[in-house]
């Protein structure tokens, strides 16, 4: 049986190396390896698989957090019959997320309460879960950020950060009016994505 100093060193190493999956499961996996008489390679593979699984889950959580969704809405929760006819027809295509891979813009237009935001968030969450980096914002919030960055002379840094997202969801375009400067900033900023 291993002494406490070995366990302490393993805990110290896995903490320092940020191997949370291994740190939380190595005792259990060591016992399984001994009982099943696993080779060193199989044991190592099992440890690394646990670490990989934990990191995958954490990456998904992190992408969802960074996306800044106002609430969680999923495609399964979507009432397809409440969507406008065009959206109903294109939902199957949108669910593939090919528009992200191909760099196409998607514009959801329609009356209030027809599910545009729900659909946009649901597609964004699906994109996060499939490994894409996503940002959700409202147009008014985006214009405010652009104006603040321009006055603080950090606009270029903001633009570079903005370019790194695979998918950007800009909500509420038709609900707000903005001045000429805001419109120009928005247009030039969004044109960078093209």
Regions of the chain with pLDDT less than 70: 1-4, 174-176, 194
Q: Minimal CA–CA distance to 185: which of 127, 137, 146?
A: 146
What does residue 110 show for φ and ψ, rounded to 5 degrees? Answer: 165, 180
DSSP 8-state secondary structure symbol assigned to residue 175: G
Q: Are 74 and 125 in contact (CB under 8 A)?
A: yes
The three-state secondary structure class of 169 is strand
pLDDT at 151 (0 to 100): 87
Q: Are 96 and 131 in contact (CB under 8 A)?
A: no
- Tens of pLDDT, residue by residue over 94-128, are 999 999 999 898 888 777 888 889 999 999 999 99
pLDDT at 174 (0 to 100): 67
Q: Are 139 and 176 in contact (CB under 8 A)?
A: yes
pLDDT at 14 (0 to 100): 92
pLDDT at 115 (0 to 100): 85
Burial letters for 67-93: b for 16+ Cβ neighbours within 10 Å, e otherwise?
A: bebeeebebeebeeeebbeebeebbee
pLDDT at 175 (0 to 100): 61
Q: Are 84 and 113 in contact (CB under 8 A)?
A: no
pTM for the complete prediction?
A: 0.80
């Amino acid at each position: 049986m291993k002494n406490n100093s070995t366990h302490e060193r393993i805990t110290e190493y896995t903490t320092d190396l940020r191997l949370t999956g291994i740190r939380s499961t190595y005792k259990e996996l060591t016992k399984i390896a001994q009982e099943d008489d696993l080779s060193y390679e199989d044991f190592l593979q099992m440890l690394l698989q646990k670490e990989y699984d934990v990191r995958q889950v954490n990456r998904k959580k992190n992408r969802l957090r960074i996306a800044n969704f106002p609430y969680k809405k999923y495609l399964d929760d979507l009432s397809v019959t409440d969507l406008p006819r065009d959206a109903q027809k294109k939902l199957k295509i949108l669910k593939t997320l090919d528009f992200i891979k191909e760099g196409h813009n998607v514009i959801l237009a329609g009356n209030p309460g027809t599910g545009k935001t729900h659909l946009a968030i649901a597609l964004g969450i699906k994109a996060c879960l499939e490994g894409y980096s996503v940002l959700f914002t409202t147009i008014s919030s985006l214009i405010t950020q652009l104006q603040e960055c321009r006055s603080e002379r950090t606009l270029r840094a903001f633009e570079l950060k903005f370019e790194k997202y695979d998918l950007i969801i800009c909500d509420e375009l038709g609900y707000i009016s903005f001045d000429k400067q805001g419109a120009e900033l928005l247009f030039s900023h969004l044109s960078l994505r093209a």
